[in-house]
Structure 1
Amino acid sequence: MTQQTTPMSQEQLTTWVREQFQRANKHLAENGVIFDSVITEESRYLAPFVAVWKIKSLEKKYYWVISGDVPCDFIAYENEKTARDAIRHFSLMWQLKAENLSKGTDLDKAQQDYIDLLVTRAEGLYRIYNQKELWQEVQGGKPE
């Protein structure tokens, strides 16, 4: 994932969150899933790297959707119950996808670049998943 050296202003953060939310919804729509609402209290973001949205479709199904400095992707909510677990799921899923794609013959530069992107983003997501301090939930005013 790319590094940003200066902190985002509140305006930049707001714009980034809005853009990532729109990107996530567009990706769902392109895959036949129509947005109804977002469950903001379960969604998480680490700007400008990654956002994970819990989204409810018009069919009353829930999905985890990932966007940011990563390929946009989604999984059914039933696969993982928290944003943190969804991040791990995307990481492992992309590692497997990259491995399967790399077994192909006569890969062109674009295909190899995509495989490399999946691998680096999967590794970055796993590092985010492993940073426990990012995932401490506050319950009753005390970190867990």
Structure 2
Amino acid sequence: MLDYDDPDVETQWFVDRRKEVEEYLSRQGVAHGQVGEFPAWSVTPYVSIWAIESLRNPGSVGWWAISGDLPNDYISAKGINNPREAMRAIATLWQEASEYMLRGEKHPTFSIGAGDSDEELAPLLASRAKTLLEWADDPEVWEDDDF
């Protein structure tokens, strides 16, 4: 088992997640600037939130991405000013999507997965969303941050 308290192991996890985010955004056709060298926030090895540079406004965040032991996803940074808000926004979308999936319906504005395993994916997505929302609401998770 890897020791994620080891700085070298943690750094490699960051490198792997960054590459994963870059590849995911590319597959999704998201036009973007630089992906942060390190996550804006993380709990290694479970979740990382990444600031993605805007092409329209270089030097500012245009997107937020999530990666780790959960689905990769991204969201526009419009109105979302920090990793905590990004986590909450993504988790809320996942929660809504899982509810639609459980009913056998497609979310009107959001999709995740190919749709062929919604029955299996819905409870996992709901579970991850619940955990992320709990973390977003827990001040102790963010006590070292300026947000």
Q: Give TM-score, length-normalised by structure 2.
A: 0.78
Deviation at residue 133 of structure 1 after TM alignment: 1.7
Unaligned runs of 5+ in 2: 106-114
| Residue number among 115, 119, 142 corresponding to 1:135 in the alignment | 142
1:15-58 residue CA offsets vs partner (Å, 9 max, x unmatched): 11111111111111111124421346881111111100010144
Q: Take 1:42 and 1:11, find their aligned partners in 2: how far apart are those partners?
A: 15
Q: Take 1:13 and 1:87, find their aligned partners in 2: how far apart are those partners?
A: 21
1:83 aligns with 2:83: yes
Identity value in percent: 25
**Higher Cα Rg: structure 1 or 2?**
1
> May I ask how many residue pairs the two structures share in their alignment?
135
| Residue number among 35, 44, 59 corresponding to 1:38 in the alignment | 35
SS of 1:37's partner is coil
1:122 aligns with 2:119: no
Structure scoring higher RCO (CA < 8 A, sep ≥ 6) equals 1
Unaligned runs of 5+ in 1: none
Trace 1:1-144 onto structure 2 (pairs within 5 A): 7-39=4-36, 43-60=40-57, 62-104=62-104, 110-137=117-144
CA, structure 1 residues 96+68, in 2 after alignment: closer, same or farther (shift >3 Å)?
same
Q: Over aligned residues, Cα RMSD in angstroms?
A: 2.8
Q: Give TM-score, length-normalised by structure 1.
A: 0.79
Contact 1:29–1:35 (CA under 8 A) maintained in structure 2: no
Deviating more after overlay: 62-71 vs 7-16: 7-16
Q: Take 2:65 and 2:138, find their aligned partners in 1: how far apart are those partners?
A: 20
Contact 1:40–1:54 (CA under 8 A) maintained in structure 2: no
